[in-house]
Amino acid sequence: MPLKTASNIVTGRSSGAFTLIELLVVISIIALLVSILLPMVSRAKEMARAAKVHAELYGLGLALEMYAPDHDGVYPPVRINCNTDLLDHWCQLPVELANEGYVPKGPPDGGLAAEVEDAFHPGFTYKYARTGRPYLDNGEPRYDRDYRYIWIPDDFPVCQSTTGKYSGDAAFASHQPLQWILWSMGPVFDSEKSESKQAPLSAATWYTHPGDTGVLVRFMTTGGIQCKSP
């Protein structure tokens, strides 16, 4: 049997070792798999948040429907914050729901009336509105302010129409088709869709799939039918 020479020892390698090229190939494959899987994980997380939003809006709708019979069929009013540091909390969940135990009460110094945060935007509650005049923080009606803040499509509650009227218009003086509406601002708080003047009732402003912007909505008609966005 021939003996191993020095050159054989230097140039030979164990059958279990990897060359630099093999290692680079493995690293490239791993990087490729990560680049493919990360967007899938991100979409899955977004879908989970959207599902959580719809579940919590459903629960809040139940809270409103428990509140109304206890208060002569009247839903809590929409509040207008007078403090400039709370302006970002417009149309937050009613303090009445929290104070009377229908939903958890928010922290005393946190700026939130209720401790039910938007799953897409921690630090903010879901939005709430109803037809009628808004109220100030002290409980007084706001008579010096136009309350045409809910745009209602002409085909409500289908909400596919691009034409409509505001809830305060004279056309709705004798009959308001909407009782209340709850919504999340969606994945992008200040997107063009979520801040549209026709949001949140126009279907064109609704969030529909991962990667989309827009609002997630639940509302009640005066006929007692609850509807929601996709």
pTM of this prediction? 0.79
> Exposed e or buried b for every residue in 185-206, given b needs 16+ CB within 10 A?
bbbbeebebbeeebbbbbbebb
DSSP letters spanning the chain: -PPPPHHHHHH---TT---HHHHHHHHHHHHHHHHHHHHHHHHHHHHHHHHHHHHHHHHHHHHHHHHGGGGTTPPPPPEE--SGGGGGGTTBPPHHHHHTTSSPBPPTTSS-SBS-EETTEEEEEPEEEESS--EETTS-B-TTS-----EEETTTTS---S-EEETTSGGGSS--SEEEEEEE--SSTT-TTTT-TTTTTSGGGB--STT--SBEEEEEETTS-EEE--
pLDDT given for residue 147 in this prediction: 55
169: confidence class by pLDDT, cuts 50, 70, 90: confident
- For residues 207 and 213, the answer to whether their CB atoms sit within 8 Å is yes
**Residues 143-165 pLDDT 10s:** 444 455 789 999 999 999 999 99
Write down the domain spans for the chain.
44-228
What pLDDT does residue 105 have? 87
Q: Look over the chain and give the mean of its residue pLDDT values, rounded to a whole number.
A: 83
The yes-or-no verdict on residue 97 having pLDDT over 80 is yes
What's the pLDDT tens digit per position in 9-63? 445 555 567 788 878 888 888 888 877 777 777 888 999 999 999 999 999 999 9
Q: What is the chain's alpha carbon radius of gyration, rounded to the nearest angstrom?
A: 27
